[in-house]
């Protein structure tokens, strides 16, 4: 049995040696902080083994170990050190390979390449980091695709707006020059045409201003209970003349007891934009139907169904992008209610989203159906 005083001395000497060697190891790690991971692992292992060896030598010098026991301890420590260093080399090379793999994954993510997740049975920390990199790569790829789509949409919008502005401006300039030179045989007709072109430009500017407010988050809403029946009836009454000019019938059947929470002015714009879009793309002699119904989840749905032949499946995800048109060679005829700029559906989408609702489109036999879902309130009175 070792006396308590001797045990305390042995522990003190061993702790002192461990502190000194550990401090030297920390200094070595500090110096080698920019070295490869393998070198740092070797320093850690060597520091631990030298702490044990130095403690044994110091205890022997204090006459607590015989020379024979010290020699045995040194050989045991040396053998353990060699094995530990070998294990550290293997472990360090494993870390180095995994680190190189992670660097390659990070480089691939930066280049836009897909990164495969690790095997499901690999539970190591580096495998977890690899999985996070793979998920980050997928999110970045989705973000790149979204940015590319928005950028393409923005370029198309600029092209369409330039075209839609150039056409009426050229007409206004030609008519103004004809009036100025006295070449207009019917000045009143020219004045009416100029007024029509000015109305077209005003509608286009209004749409651009509305879209800018939506995209910048500055759309101000006066939320109140709004009757869907009144929204539909007013919009149909306003556009009935336009529909008749295209030989199109609007059939409305809204429920009189449905009301939603929203801004009446902005929601009226949504219904009008959907109806104008349906009128522009439906053939003469067709029927556009507008219906409303309550949903089991406490929302209300407004549906507009046209007879325009539907939309290509590849184009359905794009129809609510600003400036999108189903046919790049076709420009809808300008009307006082719409500038034909391709902004109507984008504006409707932004307004509905601002109301925390949803808007979608799908093909139906002979045409396309647009559904608007909004939070429902008690029946309107």
Domain residue extents for the chain = 4-113, 147-377
Among the listed ranges 18-27, 57-66, 75-84, which one has the minimum average pLDDT value?
Answer: 57-66
pLDDT confidence tier of residue 289, bands split at 50, 70 and 90:
very high
Side-chain-facing half-sphere of 66: CA atoms under 13 Å:
3
Distance between CA atoms of 289 and 304, rounded to whole angstroms? Answer: 6
More confident residue, 136 or 156: 136
CATH topology of domain 147-377: Heat Shock Protein 90 (3.30.565)
First to last CA, the chain: 97
55 pLDDT higher than 80: no
Residue 168's CB is within 10 A of a number of other CB atoms, namely 20
pTM score = 0.56
CA 142, 146, 147, 149 dihedral sign is positive
Determine contact, residues 60/77, Cβ cutoff 8 Å: no
Between 288 and 217, where is the model more confident? 288
Please check the confidence at residue 3 and state whether its pLDDT lies above 80.
Answer: no
Residue 341 pLDDT greater than 60, yes or no: no
pLDDT over 60 at 287, yes or no? yes
Per-residue pLDDT, 279 = 92
Give per-residue pLDDT as tens, 174-189.
888 888 887 777 888 8
How confident is the model at residue 325, as a pLDDT? 61
**pLDDT above 80 (res 43):** yes
pLDDT tops 70 at residue 194: yes
Cα gap 287→149, rounded to integer Å: 33
Gap between the Cα atoms of 343 and 335, Å rounded? 14
User: Computed from CA positions of residues 204, 205, 208, 213, in that sequence, does the dihedral angle turn out positive or negative?
Assistant: negative
**DSSP output for 167-202:** HHHHHHHHHHHHHHTT--S-HHHHHHHHHHHHHHHH
Quote the longest CA-to-CA distance of the chain. Answer: 128
- In this structure, the chain runs to a length of 381
């Amino acid at each position: 049995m070792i006396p308590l005083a001797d045990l305390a001395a042995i522990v003190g000497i061993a702790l002192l040696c461990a502190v000194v060697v550990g401090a030297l190891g920390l200094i070595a790690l500090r110096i080698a902080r920019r070295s490869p991971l393998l070198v740092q692992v070797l320093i850690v292992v060597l520091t631990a083994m030298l702490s044990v060896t130095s403690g044994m030598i110091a205890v022997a010098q204090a006459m607590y170990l015989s020379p024979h026991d010290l020699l045995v301890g040194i050989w045991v420590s040396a053998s353990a050190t060699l094995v530990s260093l070998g294990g550290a080399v293997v472990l360090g090379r494993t870390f180095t390979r995994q680190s190189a793999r992670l660097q390659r994954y990070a480089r691939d993510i930066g280049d836009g390449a897909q990164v495969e997740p690790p095997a499901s049975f690999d539970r190591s920390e580096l495998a977890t980091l690899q999985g996070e990199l793979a998920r980050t790569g997928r999110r970045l790829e989705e973000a790149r695709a979204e940015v590319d789509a928005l950028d393409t949409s923005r370029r198309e919008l600029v092209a369409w707006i330039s075209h839609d502005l150039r056409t009426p401006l050229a007409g206004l300039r030609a008519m103004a020059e004809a009036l100025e030179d006295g070449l207009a045989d019917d000045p009143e007709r020219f004045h009416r045409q100029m007024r029509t072109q000015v109305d077209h430009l005003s509608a286009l500017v209004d749409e651009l201003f509305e879209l800018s407010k939506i995209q910048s988050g500055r759309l101000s809403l006066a939320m109140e209970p709004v009757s869907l029946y009144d929204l539909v009836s007013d919009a149909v009454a306003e556009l009935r003349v336009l529909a008749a000019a295209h030989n199109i019938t609007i059939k409305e059947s809204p429920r009189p007891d449905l009301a939603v929470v929203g801004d009446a002015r902005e929601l009226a714009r949504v219904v009008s934009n959907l109806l104008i879009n349906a009128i522009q793309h439906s053939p003469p002699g067709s029927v556009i139907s507008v219906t409303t119904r309550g949903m089991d989840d406490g929302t209300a749905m407004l549906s507009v169904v046209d007879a325009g032949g539907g939309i290509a499946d590849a184009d359905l995800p794009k129809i609510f992008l600003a400036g999108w048109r189903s046919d790049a060679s076709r420009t809808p005829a300008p009307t006082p209610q719409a500038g034909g700029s391709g902004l109507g559906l984008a504006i409707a989408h932004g307004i509905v989203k601002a109301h925390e609702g949803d808007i979608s489109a799908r093909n139906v036999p002979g045409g396309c159906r647009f559904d608007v879902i909004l939070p429902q309130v008690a029946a309107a009175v």
